[in-house]
Amino acid sequence: MAPDHRTGDENNGVVNEAWDYRGDAANASRTGGWISAASILGVELTERLTTLGIAVNLVTYLVGIMHLGTAQSANIVTNFMGTSFMLCLFGGFVADTFLGRYLTIAIFTTIQATGVTILTVSTIVPSLRPPPCSPDGSCVQASSTQLSVLYLALYLTALGTGGLKSSVSGFGSDQFDESSPREKAKMISFFSWFFFFISIGSLAAVTILVYIQDNIGRKWGYGICACAILIALLFFASGTRRYRFKKLAGSPITQVARVIFAAWRNRQRDLPSDPSLLYQGEFASVNDDSRKRTITILAHTKQFRFLDKAAIVEDDIEKNRLWNVATLTQVEEVKMVISMMPVWATTIMFWTVYAQMTTFSVQQATTMDRHIGKSFQIPAASLTVFFVGSILLTVPVYDRMIVPVARKFTGRREGITTLQRIAVGLVLSILAMIAAALTEIKRLKVAHASRDPKGAVPLSVFWLVPQFFLVGAGEAFTYIGQLDFFLRECPAGMKTISTGMFLSTLSLGFFFSSALVAIVDKLTTGDGASGWISDNLNKGRLHDFYWLLAGLSVLNLAFYLFCAKWYVYKEQRVSTANLEDEDAKELEACCQA
């Protein structure tokens, strides 16, 4: 009898390859599901609240309180955000190789809470910040000791963010049994609501926390973040008895290195005409059942055939030499990682476009009419509310309206594929840059026609809403699509480091934006010209920079579509066979040998 994957009250069976906190097989009705996922979502909400709550208003603290220069302050903020996302790769490696996702989340959340606590203390203790500027305007810059404490706080926070962020989505998806159609549908919805909770944290950060920091005090703003993290950590720990855990699969980096080394060592050998002759000794994952066992294997693919040479074996001695030969499944898993890289590379451009919403779009807003009525003026940075609002609107509309309609046409439970979802996001980013360029052309015309072209432009700031809205909607498609793709398509045991790969695209997008700005500024500035990106936007040609981003995004989209068409989904690589118990035992003996 094949395993029954029904969940909840329908069946008290176990979940494939999942264990409870005692190490026993996870019971389908007593572990996992939305109750467990809710505890995990709470951790991610507070992570986003904290990270963005610090970053979005950090530059004003560095300039106004620590008395640092504008350029130095901007670099500190950029490095803090970039490092946070880059450390996701480190966190993923630690989780997959040593700690597992549960312990990684618990430990790195504690590290993040420590960093935010130190940051809070630095805003309270007078000796940890320079004195206020004198009446004549002279200011004392923060000392090396004061900066050291600040850097310690920021980078402990970044380390904590990188560690827990790389694991939280993967651990959340572990709470759903992918072999059960019902739970698989819930897991797909989990990715959407995971992103929804991130957006809720972002909205609270750019509104409530920023207001508290500016009007009540930094110590209260950062203190709230520290308390929120500790509460989320306790809430997370309280769900331990209900979590589903997955066993470590070892270091994925070691496996990749082993396959590449073995393929290089066997490069002079000829591949057999029949792939079944390749070494398949440890290809199976065997799951217990009363009469039969379910063997799940990866089908052989023709992509990257040179790696198949890693599975060439001619005698039993070679099988016992770890770095001389790899199994066919190990080869196919490395192929899966390599085949994901073109998608990884072609999504970086979206985050380069995204970076403009926190830089030049805000600068545009500072030059425009931000009044509502006669007395109230919208803060320029608060336009990100339209950005976050677009995300919050897009996620439920997609999940509740677009998916059911798409399901009727495609026949797929998730409506459209993850790669199609990412493609929609890339298209929206192109439209956003076109809208941004057209708006900037309009703004410049009004600025040049006004009597004071160097001052405020008599044009409503709401002209900028379309570009914020389009990028926000694009993020809802791209972020969730990437998250789903990298978690579901990665080999077993590599979910966490795969999440780190995905989050590294955000970091590289920010860094590429900085490099592109520097290159454009250098090439367009000279001979008395102010360049495309001028300190005074009314004298620059920012719209040309937006057109450049739109053009690069179109080229990137074309390459992405080619890669997406070429990609072979994991579900097409997997085949399942039911073996009698004696056959399974024989297979296990073969594997152990």
Q: Which domains does the chain have, with CATH numbers?
A: 1-248 (1.20.1250.20), 252-326 (no CATH), 327-593 (1.20.1250.20)
**According to the model, what pLDDT value does residue 528 have?**
62
**According to the model, what pLDDT value does residue 13 have?**
73
Report residue 61: phi and psi, to 5°: -70, -45
- How far apart (Å, rounded) are the C-alpha atoms in residues 380 and 382? 5
- How far apart (Å, rounded) are the C-alpha atoms in residues 78 and 72? 10
Residue 352, SS3 per DSSP: helix
Q: Which helix (H) or strand (E) element contains residue 323?
A: none
- DSSP letter string, 408-454: HHH--TTSS-HHHHHHHHHHHHHHHHHHHHHHHHHHHHHHHHSS-TT
Residues in contact with 74: Cβ distance below 8 Å, sequence separation at least 6, in sequence order = 59
**According to the model, what pLDDT value does residue 194 have?**
81
Mean pLDDT for 231-241 is 90
CB 326 within 8 A of CB 309: no
Contacts by 177-182 with C-beta closer than 8 Å and gap 24+? Answer: 177/5, 177/7, 177/15, 177/16, 177/18, 177/28, 177/32, 178/488, 179/5, 179/16, 180/5, 180/6, 180/7, 181/5, 181/413, 182/6, 182/7
In the numeric block, the tokens 């990270």 are attached to 51
Report residue 451: phi and psi, to 5°: -75, -25
Pick from 90-104, 139-153, 367-381: least confident: 367-381
- How far apart (Å, rounded) are the C-alpha atoms in residues 35 and 273? 51
**According to the model, what pLDDT value does residue 251 have?**
63
Pick from 287-291, 420-424, 439-443, 565-569: least confident: 287-291
Mean pLDDT for 245-261 is 77
- How far apart (Å, rounded) are the C-alpha atoms in residues 239 and 234? 9
Residue 292, SS3 per DSSP: strand
The neighbour count for residue 85, using CB atoms within 10 Å, is 26
pLDDT category at 592 given cuts 50, 70, 90 is very low
The tens digit of pLDDT for each residue in 437-456 reads 999 999 888 888 876 655 67
- How far apart (Å, rounded) are the C-alpha atoms in residues 178 and 408? 22
**According to the model, what pLDDT value does residue 586 have?**
45
Mean pLDDT for 497-516 is 81
The DSSP bridge pattern shows strands 457-460 and 368-369 to be: parallel
Q: Does 425 have pLDDT greater than 90?
A: yes
CB 149 within 8 A of CB 122: yes
Residue type, 47: E
Pick from 194-203, 219-228, 292-301, 386-395: least confident: 292-301
Question: Where on the phi/psi map is residue 11: left (φ > 0), alpha (ψ -120 to 50), or beta?
Answer: beta
**According to the model, what pLDDT value does residue 527 have?**
67
Pick from 228-242, 325-339, 399-413: least confident: 399-413
- Higher-pLDDT residue of 105, 60: 105
What six digits make up the tokens of 523? Answer: 């090439």
Residue 143, SS3 per DSSP: coil
**According to the model, what pLDDT value does residue 405 have?**
83
CB 557 within 8 A of CB 430: yes
**According to the model, what pLDDT value does residue 316 have?**
59
Q: Does 70 have pLDDT greater than 70?
A: no
Q: What percent of the chain lies above the pLDDT cut of 70?
A: 84
**According to the model, what pLDDT value does residue 118 have?**
95
What is the radius of gyration, based on Cα positions, of the chain?
A: 27
Residue 180, SS3 per DSSP: coil
Q: Does 71 have pLDDT greater than 60?
A: no
Q: Does 558 have pLDDT greater than 60?
A: yes
pLDDT category at 576 given cuts 50, 70, 90 is very low
**According to the model, what pLDDT value does residue 412 have?**
72
